[in-house]
Amino acid sequence: MVDVDAAPATEETALGFADALVRLTHLVQRVFADVSRAHDLTSQQAQLLCVLTRGPAGMTELTRLLHLEKSSLTGLVDRVERRGLVARRRSSHDRRACQVALTGKGTRLAHDTHDGITAQLESLAGELPRTDRELVTSAVVRLLGDSGATTGS
């Protein structure tokens, strides 16, 4: 209300690549959180369920996939397990380890949430010509390729 709103018109127009990425990230993050919440999940819980969609995984493996410390993951898994969305199964050939797997309920919720996020993002991008969407996608894929973020080891 003071003179705070008067000046900034310089940086607004010339948005750099990095700043664009950061803003895009905040937008996607918000969509992710909103849709998750609509399904009564936090972003982190939704992300865990989505990862498990590819199949059961051990704690250590999940730790790498989600970039979390062991103990953080223990709590995260505890909370979704308490709600019956995943189950810990003791591994048979290594009795220290366990595999975390989606339950039926968890599987449904994971897919619903994923679909909701996808729909929301597609609708946000509705204005973008298909060519642009494909170009952005392929650019992102190349970007991800560099940092070895392709889920597997």
Q: Which does 148 bind (CB under 5 to 8 A by kind): DNA, its own copies, none?
A: none
Q: Which does 72 bind (CB under 5 to 8 A by kind): DNA, its own copies, none?
A: DNA
N- to C-terminal Cα separation, the chain: 52
Which bin fits 9, alpha (ψ -120 to 50), beta or left (φ > 0)? Answer: alpha
Q: Which stretch binds its own copies (CB under 8 A): 74-82, 104-112, 131-139?
A: 131-139
Residue 89 pairs with which residues in a beta bridge? 99
Q: Is 72 in the site for its own copies (CB under 8 A)?
A: no
3-state SS assignment for residue 101: strand
HSE-CB for 124 with a 13 A CA cutoff: 12
Q: Is 148 in the site for its own copies (CB under 8 A)?
A: no
Q: Which does 68 bind (CB under 5 to 8 A by kind): its own copies, DNA, none?
A: DNA
Could you list the residues that contact DNA (CB under 7 A)? 42-45, 58-61, 67-79, 88, 91, 93-99
- Give the number of residues written for the chain: 153
> How far is 36 from 43, CA to CA, in rounded Å?
6
Site residues (vs its own copies, CB under 8 A):
1-5, 7-8, 11-12, 15-30, 32, 47, 54-58, 67, 99, 117-118, 121-122, 124-128, 132-137, 139-144, 146-147, 149-152
